[in-house]
Structure formats: C-alpha cells, structure tokens
Amino acid sequence: MAASSGPIAATPKPIQFGTDGWRGIIAADFTFERVAQVAAISAHVLQQCFGETTGSRTVAVGYDRRFLSAEFARTAAEAIASQGFDVWLSQDYAPTPAFSFVAKHQNLLGAIVITASHNPPAYSGLKIKGAFGGSVSPDVTQQVEALLPNPPAPIGPKGQITAFDPWPDYCATLRAEVDIAAIQAALASGQLTVFADVMYGSASGGLPRLLGEGNVRELHHHADPLFGGNPPEPLPKYLGELLGTVKDEPVAAGGLKVGLVFDGDSDRIAAVDGSGQFLSSQILIPILIDHLKARRGYSGEIVKTISGSNLIPAVAQLHGLDLHQTPVGYKYIADRMQEAPVLLGGEESGGIGYGHHIPERDALMSALYVLEAVVMSGLDLSDYYRQLQEKTGYFSEYDRIDLPLASMEVQAKLLNQLATDPPLEVAGKAVKDILAIDGYKLTLADESWLLIRFSGTEPVLRLYSEAKTLDEVHKHLSWARDWANALATG
C-alpha cells in the first residue's frame, strides 16, 4: 500500500475544563466546531444556574488578541444565538475582567471569553463567567462537560447578536475607584513615570484610556499572535526589555518610576521598581492591603492562597484584619468573596481582586491602586515593601520551581509518601506543622516554610519556599528536589 502523502491527524484531547477554562492547541484541540459546541452548551448551563435570579436570556461574548480570537468569538456568539439566547458580542478585544464586569453590572446570564490567558502562542481557550461577575465553579464546568455527548435543545427561536464596546463602562468604574487626578498630576509634573509591558495582550491601551494618552509608555502594545516568541506571562525571564528600560530611564530629582506588567488577558499583574527590580504579587499584595486599609479606609477579610507570603498575614494583623487561607487557584478566593466581606484576595501567581469590585482578578484595577499607593506614599515600591517589613518585623525571601516527573505513577508514589510518612525535617530544620489543604505545606522550626504541590493534569511537582534569606530558600527547594528524585528512583 502506498504511503500517505498528507499529515497524520492527531486525535484531539478531550474537552476538559481546568483551573479557569478549557484550553487547547489551535486547530488540533481548539477548533471552530468544538468552540461552537462548548459555547452553546455553556449558555444552557448558565441559564440553569442564573436564569431565575437574573431574569435574563443574554450572554456576553468577548475575546483576547490571540490568533483567530475574534473569529472564534463570532462562532461562539452564533452558536449561542442558535439556541435561542441573545448575545452581546464585543466589537474588539478587551481584558477578561471587563467581561466579568459587564455580566454582573448588566445583569446578564454570564459571559464567554475566548482566551488562553498566559499560555504559549499555540493555545487558545474559553472561560465561562457567571452572572455574579467571576469564574464559575467546577460544578458548573462539570455540567458543561456532562452535556457534551447529548446537547440540550434550543430554548426558542434564534436570538439576536448585538455588538457592544466593553471598555467605556469598565474604565469609568475603575477611574472612580482611585484618585485619578492625583495620579495624572504626578505624571504631568514628572513626579511619576510609568511604563507598562502589556505583553502584546488585552491590557494594550488600557492605562492610556484610564490615565490619558501620552501619560504611560507601553511596551509590546501592538498585536502579535506569537507574543514575541514567549508566553504572555509576567515572569522576569520574559521581561528583559522592561527591566532594562525602567532601570535606565532618567527622572527628575525626587521622581519615582514604576513598571507594570500584564499577562495575556489582563487578569494577572506584576511590577518593577525604580531600579529595574522585578516585583511579584507576593510583594504587591502587602502593599495593596496597607494602602487600601490605611489610606482608603477599606475593611474586610484578607484572603490568601496557601502559597502566599507570610508577610500578608503579618500586614493583615498590623491593621486588625481577619485572614482566610485557601488552596491555590483564584476560584477559591472568588468563592470566599461571595461568602464573606472581603477587602482583597490574592494569589502568588499574580491574580489580585477586590471585594468592593467584582469577585475576579483584575490587573488594571490593581495597577491603578499600585500607582495611587506610590503617589500618596511618595515611596518607591521596594522602599514601601521594606517599610512594611520593618513595621511588622517580618523579613523574608521567596522562590518557587517546577520539577518535571517521569510519569503520573511517580507523582502518585510521592503523594502517597507525603500522606503516610511525611518528612520530619527539611534541610536540617525540624518540621513543626503540616497543612494539607492543597499539597503539603511544611512549616519549619524557624517559621520558614516549604510547600510541595502536584499538578492535576501533568506529572509536575511544584515547589515553593519562603525563608529569611534567599540562600535558605534555595536550600529548601534543593532538599525537596533531592527528596523527590530519591523516592522516584528508589
């Protein structure tokens, strides 16, 4: 038999929702046919969950700047309309939080957003947002998956598709939350210089819309479906140009410089201080708590994930604020925001949200609060952070690594070891407490900690540590890596 001259088609991966949405390789797993299927079923599930409380039959559809995102969004909108629902279809890309915002504030059933967030360029994805203004729970996405083999029938004749612009109302709300005039005055006088690396993503144009054209120097603001060759993720290894630009930019005497970083769909943030030093949300969250409580008068619970810095509870205690700890994943923070009055909820990967806004990570909202904190305090971000360390008496360094494992069987072996015979010491330090709400967080005798977590979808060990010095942090991580490798080969 003659050999085939065409490519061999790979079997698409099953449609499965992860931490926040369904994602897949474009044209292999993420296809127009599958997007139409998932979007149509999602509309039915949103109606079952939120139809009675909203009285709505409308779903918003939005998208990011990835390859074919606008076309996928149009396909999703047409599929939803074919089921008898009305659709608000975004006329342009916008941040994912803007679509969560419109779902809540326009009393819609929810929103479907075409985005793969910070994933590599070959991916696209679909996020489902509920009427309450945040990501739906795993129970909801499981309902979508369960209906894939037998989709529901349309609820009525074909609905209408209406184009809308999500930016104006969203930006107006964000501007009302901060002292825009004070930030703009600082920019105009040269007291503040702001750079934004939008990583070719949905935050592009956001800060100029909020603060005025010419007030912010945006890097990588043009559309590039390849994202400059890197995933649009706010990590130092992808930010060389921004770090160097901020470091080298001259400013007037007494002037402050701030760099802001946004991921691909603008729900995660990082920053850069005036000397070009990368600042993760582990540093930004304590600053934001202090600013919002001390200067803005907000109150409420602080919600952190298990991997968050211990400076977060220290600052919460400084201000008399209660603390709630969750597993890793913003969905747990969003759930808590619907159960209790929350000031701020944040995760170490860059997602930060506010109980007085929407139960959703919102990087542009966080960016405005960061700038307001700098203007009102007159401090460089790193100086602000050190001041909080001094006030609380808590000084630390933090790092994390991912360790690929040979197989899911090896991962199961390590997990069983932790469950039945956990370590009694780490790098010569006694383990005094173990928290097992998400992986295993080992608190050591000197109050430093090591968190060992496992990916739910691939054989990867995620290791996190915080200690007084970076050297100690790396000793903990090295110990964990050696421990895992020894068990894997033993």
Directed axis angle between helix 32-54 and helix 69-81, to 10°? Answer: 50
- The answer on 458 and 387 residing in a single domain is no
- The answer on 381 and 246 residing in a single domain is yes
Residues contacting 280, CB < 8 A, separation 6+ = 270, 348, 350, 398
6 pLDDT tier (thresholds 50, 70, 90): very low
Directed axis angle between helix 138-147 and helix 32-54, to 10°? Answer: 130
Distance between CA atoms of residues 153 and 148, nearest Å: 12
CATH number at residue 445: 3.30.310.50
Q: Token match 């797993």: residue?
A: 29
pLDDT at 488: 87
Residue 7 within a domain: no
pLDDT at 457: 65
pLDDT at 85: 98
**211-231 pLDDT, tens per residue?**
999 999 999 999 999 999 999
- The answer on 222 and 345 residing in a single domain is yes
**416-455 pLDDT, tens per residue?**
999 999 999 999 999 999 999 999 999 999 999 999 998 7
Task: Say whether pLDDT at 456 is over 90.
Answer: no
Q: What one-letter code names the amino acid at 357?
A: H
- The answer on 331 and 349 residing in a single domain is yes
25 pLDDT tier (thresholds 50, 70, 90): very high
Residue 450 within a domain: yes
Residue 170 within a domain: no
Task: Say whether pLDDT at 461 is over 80.
Answer: yes
Residue 252 within a domain: yes
- The answer on 216 and 134 residing in a single domain is no
Residue 401 within a domain: yes
- The answer on 240 and 126 residing in a single domain is no
CATH number at residue 359: 3.40.120.10
Print the domain residue range for 221: 177-392
pLDDT at 483: 96
Summary mean pLDDT of the chain = 95
pLDDT at 1: 39
Distance between CA atoms of residues 114 and 61, nearest Å: 8
- The answer on 422 and 326 residing in a single domain is no
**397-425 pLDDT, tens per residue?**
999 999 999 998 999 999 999 999 999 99
Residue 10 within a domain: no
- The answer on 218 and 158 residing in a single domain is no
**281-314 pLDDT, tens per residue?**
999 999 999 999 999 999 999 999 999 999 999 9
Mean pLDDT of 127-139: 95
Mean pLDDT of 68-91: 98
Domain boundary among 369, 392, 415: 392
pLDDT at 10: 65
Paired tokens of 163: 């184009």
Mean pLDDT of 348-354: 95
- The answer on 73 and 210 residing in a single domain is no
Domain boundary among 136, 165, 194: 165
- The answer on 387 and 301 residing in a single domain is yes
Hey, how many other C-beta atoms are within 10 angstroms of the C-beta on 344?
29
Beta bridge partners of 443: 433, 449
Domain count across the chain: 3
SS (H, E, C) 400-421: EEEEECCCHHHHHHHHHHHHHC
254 pLDDT tier (thresholds 50, 70, 90): confident
18 pLDDT tier (thresholds 50, 70, 90): confident
Residue 12 within a domain: no
Q: Token match 């894939």: residue?
A: 148
**237-253 pLDDT, tens per residue?**
999 999 999 999 998 88
Residue 226 within a domain: yes
**102-132 pLDDT, tens per residue?**
999 999 999 999 999 999 999 999 999 999 9
Mean pLDDT of 346-371: 96
- The answer on 260 and 138 residing in a single domain is no
Mean pLDDT of 161-166: 98
Domain boundary among 325, 360, 392: 392
- The answer on 231 and 335 residing in a single domain is yes
